[in-house]
A = this chain, B = another copy of it.
Amino acid sequence: MRHSTHHGHVVALDVGGTTMKGGLVSATGQVLIAERRPTPRADGPLRVIEAIRAFTGELAAAGPGTPAGVGIAVPGLVTADTAVYSANIGWKDVPAADLTALPLPVRLGHDVRTGGLAESVLGAGRAERDFLFLPIGTGIAGAVVIAGEPYGGSSSRGGEIGHVPVFPAGERCACGQTGCLETYASAASVARRYTERLSRATSLHQPAATWDAYPAAQSPMAPETMTAEQVVDLAMRGDPDAAAVWDDALEALSIALASYTLLLDPAAIVIGGGLAEAGEALFEPLAERLTARLAFRTAPPLRRAALGVHAGMLGAALLGWQAAGVPDAGSTWTVDVLRSPSVP
C-alpha cells in the first residue's frame, strides 16, 4: 500500500435531518476537531444552507492553516457537485458552492453511501470489495458497495432497501407503497408497531369483564414512550407482544437480505445504526433466519459496523480528500474513532 505524502487537513460535514456532525480530518486520518450542531430543518432549507455554510467556515477557521478541501454528506438525491433534492430538508438543486463560502474544492455525497464509503475504506468492510452497508435507524437505507465503491445506480436513486416489498400484501408504508421492509424493521417502526399492538389489545380488552385484570404494569413504562431498544429488551425477556413485533422485524430483514444476497452475492452484510446496538438479539436470530431462507448457497456473514455515528463524517473526510486530489486517502489510515479522545 502506498502511503499518501499529502499533509494538511480537510473539512468534513455530515448533514442529518436532526444533527450536523462536522470535523477536520488530517491526511493520515487524525480527527483534529469534531463537533455537533443541530440541523435547523424546521426553519426551512435556506436556513439549513446558511447553517452548513457557517459550520464549514468555522471549522476551517479553527484549524491549523488552510484546509485542502471540503466533503459534505447530505440526504436525498445528490451528485458530486449538487444537492439535487431532499424531501426531508426541502431543498432542490443546491450547488456545492452554495454550501460553503470557502474557496476550496468541494465534493458532495449521499449520506448513507458516504457512510458506506467510510465503512469500506476504514471500517467493517475494509477487507471486502463487495458488501452491503445497512444502517437501521429511524428509517432504513443501504449502501450497495461494489469493488470498494458505493454504487448509486443509473440515476443515484439506488440503495432503497428499506422500501423493497417484503410482505407484498402487508401493511401500508408511510412512503405509499405496501409491505416495505422499513415499515416493519426500522427502529421507529418497531416502537410504533409495539405501541399499536398494545392499544389494539387494550381496546379489545376494554369492553370485556376482565378489564380490571389487564396487567397495565406489564411494561416498565407507558407504551407511547417506548423505544425500539426497549421493545427488543422486552422481547428478550419474554413479553409476547414485544416478541411478536420483533419477530416480524427479523422476518422482514431476513427476506430483504435473502433477496440482496441472491441478487448481489455480497461478501458481508455490515449492519449499523441504532438497532445494531441490539447486538445478539439482532445478529444471532437474523443470521439463523437468513441461512434458513437460502437453500443452495451460504449466507454472507453479518457484521456490526465499525464506525458508529462517525461513519458519515469520516466518509465526508474521504470525499474532501478526493476533492483535494488525493483519491487514495484513507487506505493507510488506522482510525479508531470510537475510542479516539478527539471525538466527543
The residues of A with any CB-CB pair to B shorter than 8 Å are 128-131, 142, 144, 146, 151-161, 163-168, 173, 175-178, 251, 255-256, 258-260, 262-267, 293-297, 300
With A160-B262, A293-B177, A296-B175 known as contacts, the answer to whether A267 contacts B154 (CB < 8 A) is yes
Closest to A260 in B: B263
Indicate if the CB atoms of B263 and A160 lie closer than 8 Å.
yes
Q: Decide if A154 touches B129 in the complex (CB within 8 Å).
A: yes
Query: Once the chains bind, are B177 and A295 in contact (CB under 8 Å)?
Result: yes
- With A128-B154, A175-B296 as given contacts, are A168 and B265 in contact (CB-CB < 8 Å)? no
With beta carbons under 8 angstroms apart, the residue of B175, B256, B263 that contacts A158 is: B263
Tell me the bound Cα distance from A176 to B295 in angstroms: 5
Q: Give the contacting residue for A155; candidates B157, B168, B259, B265; CB below 8 A.
A: B265
User: Taking CB as reference atom, which chain B residue is nearest A129?
Assistant: B154
Give chain B residues whose Cβ lies under 8 Å from the Cβ of A258.
164-165
Contact indicator B263/A154 (Cβ below 8 Å):
no
- 17 of the cross-chain contacts (CB-CB < 8 Å) are A129-B154, A131-B154, A142-B263, A153-B265, A154-B265, A160-B297, A161-B263, A163-B262, A165-B255, A167-B168, A175-B296, A177-B293, A177-B295, A178-B293, A256-B259, A259-B259, A263-B264
Whole-angstrom CA separation of A263 from B263 in the bound complex: 10
User: Contact: A130 with B154, CB < 8 Å?
Assistant: yes
Distance of A300 Cα from B154 Cα, bound (Å): 10
Q: In the complex, which residues of chain B have a beta carbon less than 8 angstroms from the beta carbon of A154?
A: 128-131, 265-267, 300
How far, in whole Å, are A165 and B262 apart by their CA atoms in the complex? 10
| In the complex with contacts A164-B259, A168-B255, A259-B165, A152-B265 CB distance below 8 A | yes
Q: Which partner residue on chain B sits nearest A296 by CB separation?
A: B175
* Top 6 closest pairs, chain A to chain B, by CB: A153-B265, A176-B295, A158-B265, A154-B267, A160-B262, A130-B154
How close is A26's CB to chain B, nearest CB, in angstroms? 32
Evaluate contact between A265 and B164: CB separation under 8 angstroms: no
Measured CA separation A271–B297 after assembly (Å): 25
Give every chain B residue within 8 A of A176 (Cβ-Cβ): 295-296
Assembly CA distance A157 to B296 (angstroms): 10
Please give, as numbers and ranges, the residues of chain B lying within 8 Å of A151 by CB-CB distance: 146, 264
The answer for the CA separation of A142 and B265 in the assembled complex, in Å, is 13
- Among A142, A160, A178, the most chain B Cβ lie within 10 Å of the Cβ of A160
Residues of chain B contacted by A297 (CB below 8 angstroms): 157, 160
Q: Is the CB of B168 within 8 A of A264?
A: no
- With a cutoff of 8 Å between Cβ atoms, the chain B residues found around residue A294 in the complex are 177
With a CB–CB cut-off of 8 A, which chain B residues contact A157?
265, 297
| Measured CA separation A163–B263 after assembly (Å) | 9
